[in-house]
Amino acid sequence: MFDLQTMRDQLAAHYDLAPNPALAQEMSEEYARMKRVVAPMDWAIHAPYVAAINALKKERNAVILAHNYMTPEIYHGVADVVGDSLQLAIEATRVEADVIVQCGVHFMAETSKILSPAKIVLMPDMEAGCSLAESITAEGVEEMRRRYPGAPVVTYVNTTAEVKAASDICCTSSNAAQIVGAMESDTVIMTPDQYLAQNVAQDVPHKNVVWWEGSCIVHEQYSAKDLREFREWNPGTRLIAHPECPPDVVAEADFSGSTSGIIKYVTDEKPEKALLITECSMASNIADSLPEVDFVGPCNMCPYMKKITLEKILWSLHSMSEPIEVDPKVAEGARQAVQKMIDLSQKLGI
């Protein structure tokens, strides 16, 4: 368990982390990427952490891989690579640094370690989990295999290494339909996200997609009725949903895609008003690069993603904690499932 006070005392002994308006001014280039969403007073608080992290990254030969749901000061201030789950997994196979700091949730760090076993992969907060990863174990995968004999198991990357190792191939929200469509069998098991599976089932009607009953606590909160009402009161707003939302929500939306798919859609289309039906940081992270788009609420926060803060990233690099370890046998099985996904995605041009 994390002792916050000890961490703060030790950091204060090594770094000058007091709010610093002069440093914030010096770092105006970084601030320019987030000034629509981060107040100047908050930037004066963040700037000393951003400066300390970026200096320490060089010292440790470390890179920061950050998911699109990280807050703007992480996304624009310290990340070397940002992306969706597929892009981060691919990047983990290419990174040349000695250390990877994974800013995202635990399964993402585990995936990086599986793909780059010789590297030190650090997780700034081990408690940054995921409701989907927690919803299934390797026994659950075996139970599905017993229920649907001979059907391949396509497992979402939002799972533990044990679950990946028990599966045939992984998928992410950006390649799920194509991976399922490429399976030879008529029946395909998808775990653990029931809604992603139901959305995929609509895209590949020639397959009998069956699913585990897991769900994302962020995306399951949206309802089609909310979207309809929102549209009535806010005509002209483009509604853009992540495929972890229930299928009737996705059906009400104008577009659905992975987090990077959403960013690409908004960047290409530049709608006057957009409602991103996903995690809150998504809109904040692209607000400055798209001044012509009015991002309207509401959004939902992922409590797991929000466990990652600048303070914990600095501590992680300072103390080299916590390193991710995966049992080598489990890691090999999981690596095969993830690598198959990467290879198939590249073959399919995703």
In angstroms, the first-to-last Cα distance of the chain is 40
What are phi and psi for residue 155, nearest 5 degrees? -110, 130
Name the minimum Å distance from CB 130 to ligand 13P: 6
Beta bridge partners of 300: 279
Q: Looking at 130, 169, 293, 331, which residue binds ligand SF4 (CB under 6 A)?
A: 130
What are phi and psi for residue 173, nearest 5 degrees? -70, -15
Burial of 329 (0-12, 13-18, 19+ CB in 10 A): exposed
Write out the residues near ligand 13P by the rule CB under 6 A: 68, 84-85, 158, 172-173, 216, 242, 244, 258-259
Say if residues 135 and 215 touch (Cβ distance below 8 Å).
yes
Helices (H) then strands (E): counts for the chain: 17, 12
Q: Annotated binding site: which residue ranges?
A: 67, 85, 130, 156-158, 173, 216, 242-244, 259, 302
Q: Looking at 132, 136, 240, 277, which residue binds ligand SF4 (CB under 6 A)?
A: 132
Among left, alpha and beta (phi > 0; psi -120 to 50; other), residue 320 is left
Q: Quote the DSSP letter at residue 322.
A: P
Q: Which does 304 bind (CB under 5 to 8 A by kind): ligand SF4, ligand 13P, none?
A: ligand SF4
Q: Annotated binding site for iminosuccinate: which residue ranges?
A: 67, 85, 156-158, 173, 242-244, 259
The nearer residue to ligand 13P, 47 or 275, going by C-beta atoms, is: 275
Q: Looking at 79, 216, 276, 342, which residue binds ligand SF4 (CB under 6 A)?
A: 216
β-pairing verdict for 153-156 and 120-122? unpaired
Q: Annotated binding site for [4Fe-4S] cluster: which residue ranges?
A: 130, 216, 302
Q: Which does 282 bind (CB under 5 to 8 A by kind): ligand 13P, ligand SF4, none?
A: none
Q: Does residue 235 have a cis bond before it (omega within 30 degrees)? A: no
Beta bridge partners of 210: 189
Q: Which does 173 bind (CB under 5 to 8 A by kind): ligand SF4, ligand 13P, none?
A: ligand 13P
* 222 part of the interface to ligand SF4, by CB under 6 A: no
Q: Which does 337 bind (CB under 5 to 8 A by kind): ligand 13P, ligand SF4, none?
A: none
Sequence-distant (≥ 6) Cβ neighbours of residue 111 within 8 angstroms: 85, 88, 89, 92, 157, 334, 338
Count of residues interacting with ligand SF4 (CB under 6 A): 13
Q: How many CA atoms lie within 13 A of 237 on its CB side?
A: 23
What's the angle, vertex CA 108, arms to CA 199 and CA 175, rounded to 5?
A: 30
The nearer residue to ligand SF4, 207 or 219, going by C-beta atoms, is: 219
The nearer residue to ligand SF4, 57 or 67, going by C-beta atoms, is: 67
The nearer residue to ligand 13P, 217 or 290, going by C-beta atoms, is: 217
Q: Which does 215 bind (CB under 5 to 8 A by kind): ligand 13P, ligand SF4, none?
A: none
Name the minimum Å distance from CB 96 to ligand SF4: 27
Given the rule CB under 6 A, which residues bind ligand SF4?
105, 130-132, 158, 216-218, 244, 279, 302, 304-305
